[in-house]
Amino acid sequence: MKSGPLGLDPELLNACVSCGLCLPHCPTFRVTGLEIASPRGRIAAMNAVETGMAPLKRPFIDAMAECVQCLGCETACPSGVRFGRLMEDSRATIAHRSGLRALLSRAFGAIAYRRLLPNQHVLHLLSWVLLVAQRMRVMPKRFRSSVPRLTRHRLRRTLNVTVGGNPDVWLFTGCVMDAWLQKTHVATAAALRSTGVRIARPDSRAGCCGALAAHAGRRDIARSLAKSVVAAMPGAAPIIVNSAGCGAALKDYGHLLGDADAERFAARVFDISEWLVAQTASPLATEARTSIVIQDPCHLRNVQRTHDSVRLLLGGAFALLETNDDGMCCGAGGGYAANQPDLSTKITKRKAKALRDAGASTDVAVCSSNPGCTFALEAAGFKVVHPAELYADCIAPDRGEPRNG
């Protein structure tokens, strides 16, 4: 069987037996009840386009754009369907088709993914613009849940780590994490140093991991960003990532770049919790354990599949509360909240209910390790902390870094 207009691997497409077990694990299906907003429906739609039964235009294109790419379906799929591959490949074809809409979206992508995110200075400048916009209440509605409440404190550069060199481990700092979640980086650095290793951060070449570009079907941009990232962290030292989305992207460089160097690079990548659990004993509570609600970022649970490390790392020191929603996506999804605000809001609402049901409140924080989730949940009124911050507080309670603000 040959592939059709989308250029999908027929073997991957054929692996779906339409059993429907993915449906309840798909956030867009959960909030719409529509087959076309489900993984099974999307695969059937891809099939229809590939076999010429449906045209490669709307509503197919809209259906592809509605997917959060949380990959809850991959975790649920007993047949091992590579839904993420199929979706990225479809989006890549869609991104490169002709027409004004596609052209505009490519131009936007080129600016956002190539010029803005990877460039710390531009991003920092933009952050101040956004801060002002927030103060003047002129922030566009669709960006409200993807940009956290910015303060001068939040934008302060407090991370003090050597740049480049030959460290024992690399701390990958990324784009948005570096701009808006410095406190997490500081805590991560403290946690890493507590294990006795010398750490360094990569130079400005490793500005963005390229995940957002890849999710949007812009593999060309993602590849060039990935090459810079690989070049910025040479050697054999482990690469520690504290953003679930970036970690998943770095671990996938082997596939993205398709060469042996990239494979070797990818094998060096670890999520911070994954690495800490393997290196050190988890801290134990000295007094009454504080309750924390665990939220698994999709890219930790469904892609890296290392979400249990967070529990192993923190279980001794905190009372971990679990949600009863099979680790459903929070709706943030990188650029998803901005691109699909309606769906995103519905999904976040569902997540918020699950978190509250699990015990999250003004007193009980949510533990999450992905910037997108963190911002969306903060916007939904939750107090969000990163596992590295909780860990660092345990091993060095007086490290003087405020956890919030």
Partner 1 sequence: MLAPRFNTRESERARAEPLELSLYSRDAGLANGQAGAVCFPRDASDVAFAVATCKKLGVPFVARGSGTGLAGGATPLDDALVIVTTQMNRVISIDAASRTAWVEPGLLNLDLTRAAQPYGLHYAPDPSSQQACSIGGNVATNAGGPHCLSSGSTTAHVLAVEAVLPNGEVAMLGSTAPDQPGFDLRGIFVGSEGMLGIATKVLVKLVPNPPQIQTMLLDFMSIDEAAATVSAIIAAGIMPAALEMMDSRITAAVEDFVGAGYPRDAAAVLLVEVDGLSGGVDHQASLITEIGRAHGAREVRLARSESERQLLWKGRKSAFGAIARIAPDYYLHDAVVPRSKLVGVLRTIYEIADSHDLTMMNVFHAGDGNLHPLIVFDRRVIGVWERVQAAGTEILERCLAAGGVLSGEHGIGLEKRAMMAQFFSEADLELQARVADALDPHGLANPGKVLPAGFRCGEVGINRTLPEGTWI
Rounded Cα distance between 124 and 33, Å, is 40
- Say which residues have a Cβ less than 8 Å from residue 287's Cβ, sequence separation at least 6: none
The span of 72-80, 108-116, 129-137, 159-167 binding partner 1 (CB under 8 A) equals: 72-80
Cβ of residue 56: shortest distance to partner 1, in angstroms?
A: 11
Task: Determine, following the binding rule CB under 8 A, whether residue 77 of this chain makes contact with partner 1.
Answer: yes
Q: How many CA atoms lie within 13 A of 153 on its CB side?
A: 7
Rounded Cα distance between 262 and 281, Å, is 31
Interface characters, 285-324, with partner 1 (x: CB under 8 A) = ---------------------------------------x
Task: Determine, following the binding rule CB under 8 A, whether residue 342 of this chain makes contact with partner 1.
Answer: no
Task: Determine, following the binding rule CB under 8 A, whether residue 197 of this chain makes contact with partner 1.
Answer: no
Structure tokens at 313: 């790392």
Rounded Cα distance between 248 and 184, Å, is 18
Task: Determine, following the binding rule CB under 8 A, whether residue 8 of this chain makes contact with partner 1.
Answer: no
Smaller CB separation from partner 1, 41 or 118: 41
Cβ of residue 88: shortest distance to partner 1, in angstroms?
A: 21
Three-state secondary structure call for residue 331: coil
Smaller CB separation from partner 1, 71 or 190: 71
Across the beta sheet with 318-321, the strand order is 318-321, 290-294, 365-367, 384-385
Structure tokens at 57: 């235009």
Question: How many chain residues touch partner 1 (CB under 8 A)?
Answer: 37
Task: Determine, following the binding rule CB under 8 A, whether residue 163 of this chain makes contact with partner 1.
Answer: no
Smaller CB separation from partner 1, 33 or 140: 33
Task: Determine, following the binding rule CB under 8 A, whether residue 166 of this chain makes contact with partner 1.
Answer: no
Structure tokens at 276: 């800490």
Task: Determine, following the binding rule CB under 8 A, whether residue 349 of this chain makes contact with partner 1.
Answer: no
Structure tokens at 147: 């940009």
Distance, C-alpha 44 to centroid of its chain: 26
DSSP letter, residue 70: -
Residues 26-65 that bind partner 1 (CB under 8 A): 29, 32-36, 40-41, 44-45, 48, 53-54, 59-60, 63
What residues make contact with partner 1 under the rule CB under 8 A? Answer: 1, 11, 14-25, 29, 32-36, 40-41, 44-45, 48, 53-54, 59-60, 63, 76-81, 324
